[in-house]
Chain A
Amino acid sequence: MEIYGVDLFDITFRGLHALMAAAWLLFDFIVFWLHFKIKDPNYPLDSRIERAKVMHGIDTVVAYIFLLMLPSGIILCYITGTAIFTTNWLSWKHLLYAIIVADALYLLPISGTALRNLKAIKDGAENIDELNHEIKSRMNQAMPAVWLIWILVFAASLISVLNLKVPKGQDYIFRKTTAQVESINHQNHISANVVSDTIPHRNFVYESNVHKII
């Protein structure tokens, strides 16, 4: 379906995929920012619980974005005519996503610890110090993995931007394909041979001019 020459299906999926990546980066940063007060035992308990609830909610949205990124990306491949397994840049991007999946599986048992422990403290648990210590140690344990995900999503976005395609014709915007580069090199090679074959005196003229200058 097209409106004013714009393929709506194409542009919707591209926009959705890009928006998901942007939201992922933003929400991950918000979660990172919230966690400082949650793990701080000197901060009021009610505020910590409130922040933990918000963090948990945002984390759920991030989880949906993370899980829907793969199917939306595969659909986008079909729309833009990009071969899934034979495109070199895409295989590196998939590798980054694979590391994110492994990272998420590592983070899975850690998630929810803060909210669970804080609720236990509010309900009158006796081992408050132990629960606070668990929140802090679990969050500190998760931080390198969270940062790794953030960096990998950013790198994957960068790879996608550098390999953007024109909606009509699906040619790359910022770079040429290997076939195009080879074709240009081939053309240059032919024209260089033609020049050297047809104008043999050019070097001589140049050298004689240099000789005059000297």
Chain B
Amino acid sequence: MFLFWLLWIVVVIGGFYMGIGYALQMYLGGFEISLLLNTLIYLGCAFFGLPKFLKLIFKR
């Protein structure tokens, strides 16, 4: 169970942290393909995991 918590914490919180960080960097420093891909994939994973993470929290 702890592993599931860790999984969704890393995927959701880590995903938002990295995705928003790279999005901000792209906004401030200009476009670069690695920044765009990082933003898309990390935010994609975070949004994918968000319902499962919320379900895990409110199911308790």
Contact = CB atoms under 8 A, between A and B. Distances in A.
Contacts, number: 55
**Interface magnitude class on chain B:** 20 to 34
Contacts of A101: 11, 15, 41-42, 45
Contacts of A99: 41
A7 B7 CA distance: 32
B11 to A, nearest CB: 6
Contacts of A85: 21-22, 24-25, 35
Nearest to B2: A64
Interface residues of A, number: 19
Interface in B41-55: 41-42, 44-45, 48-49
Contacts of A98: 18, 37-38, 41-42, 45
Interface string A79-105: 000001110100110110011011001
Query: Closest 3 A-B residue pairs measured CB to CB?
Result: A98-B41, A85-B25, A91-B34
Given A64-B3, A85-B21, 9 more contacts: A67-B10, A70-B10, A70-B14, A84-B21, A91-B22, A98-B41, A98-B42, A99-B41, A105-B11
